[in-house]
Amino acid sequence: MPFNAKQASQLRAFGSSVRRVRMARKITQEKLAELVDLNIRTIQKVEAGHVNILLTTVLRLQKALGCAWGDLLGK
C-alpha cells in the first residue's frame, strides 16, 4: 500500500533521525542491523523512509542506539 504525502514525510523524518543518531554514535548500518536483528537492507530502507516498521522494531532500534524516544520521533 503506498503512503500518502504526510505518512511519507513522517517516515523520511524518522529515517533521518535514525541515521543521525546512528552516525553520532559511530555505529555502522551493518552493526545496527546486527544489534537489532534485522537485515542491513531493512536498516537502509528505514533510514531512507521507504518502510513502515512495527513499534517493537522501533523499541529495538531505540535500545540499540541508546537514545530517548524524542531522538527518534523528533519530539
11-56 pLDDT, tens digit each = 999 999 999 999 999 999 999 999 999 999 999 999 999 999 999 9
CATH 1.10.260.40 fits 5-73, yes or no: yes
Whether the pLDDT of residue 74 is over 80: the answer is no
Domain range annotation of the chain:
5-73
- The CA–CA distances, whole Å, from 16 to 22, 26, 59, 65 equal 10, 15, 17, 14
Tell me the pTM.
Answer: 0.93
Supply the pLDDT for residue 75.
62
- Which residues lie below 8 Å from residue 73, measured CB to CB, with a gap of 6+? 14, 17
Q: Confidence band (pLDDT; 50, 70, 90) for 1?
A: low
